[in-house]
Amino acid sequence: MSVNYDFTDKVVVITGSSSGIGAGIAQLFAKSGANVVIAGLDGQGVAKVGKQCTDLSPKQLTALEVVGDLTNDKDCDRLIETTVQTFGKLDILVNNVGIGHRAEVTKEDYYQKFLNVMQTNLNSVVYLTHKSVEHLAKTNGNIINISSIASKISCTELSPYHMSKAALDMFTKCMAAELGPKHHIRVNSVNPGLVVTNFMTTMGLPETICDKIYETVGSKYPIGRVGQPRDIANTVAYLASNTEAGFMTGSIVLADGGHLSANVSVEKEGQDLLNKFQ
């Protein structure tokens, strides 16, 4: 039985929604009747997803498209201000934007890569949360942060990414404890396993290698496949629903296909494939 969510009249901001998981989340909210705000750095991607959301909307609601760099406080301010000016409120904030860099601690560019990852994956979330509280408090709204199983495991040459996600999980729990009693805002996190997006190609892996990684790693997952954006979107929609998940806050929700339970190593599989094809 499929679940049909009703987010009619809700206003949802999804950062990093010009592609991948963010786009999948935006599309599901649009299909469920929400006013969605597509936010990202890629203008063409933002416009594409915005049109898809409008087409999926039962009432053909026009998605609000905001192009900006969320490592820039002024662009974050503009995102929240434009949302509230356009729709009069904010109900749900989905902090999805995230990047990863391969970074060896002995390399000269390590610290700059570290700063870049933290500014995107953590600082933007902290700042947007800070700016959104006054609006979410008026709507009994909630926040969903998109973290990763990387918060639970270590990996060589990806320490900035893993650290950013571990910090994000703690921020989620701290904000749940702080914002619940004072502002009636729920805060939860979704931690995906390997999902088919452009994440690995942006880190420089060839598409053919990425496809092989998805195939190889997916075969080791207990459910027999890696994730799709819709898998994460469904988890987000559940957490966003005050009807379905009203008793959940401070939760770190794994949506990983059994990745952690099966002790699957993407790092090992990826390196083995690179060695094979080099």
Kindly list the catalytic residues: 161
Closest among 164, 174, 177 to 124, alpha carbons compared: 164
Helical ranges in 140-158 per DSSP H: none
The single-letter code of the amino acid at 25 is I
Strand boundaries in the chain, DSSP class E: 11-15, 35-40, 64-67, 92-95, 142-146, 186-192, 252-255
> Exposure pattern of 220-237 as b/e (b: 16+ CB <10 Å)?
bbeeeebbebebbbbbbb
CA–CA separation, 191 and 255 (whole Å): 6
CA–CA separation, 259 and 264 (whole Å): 6
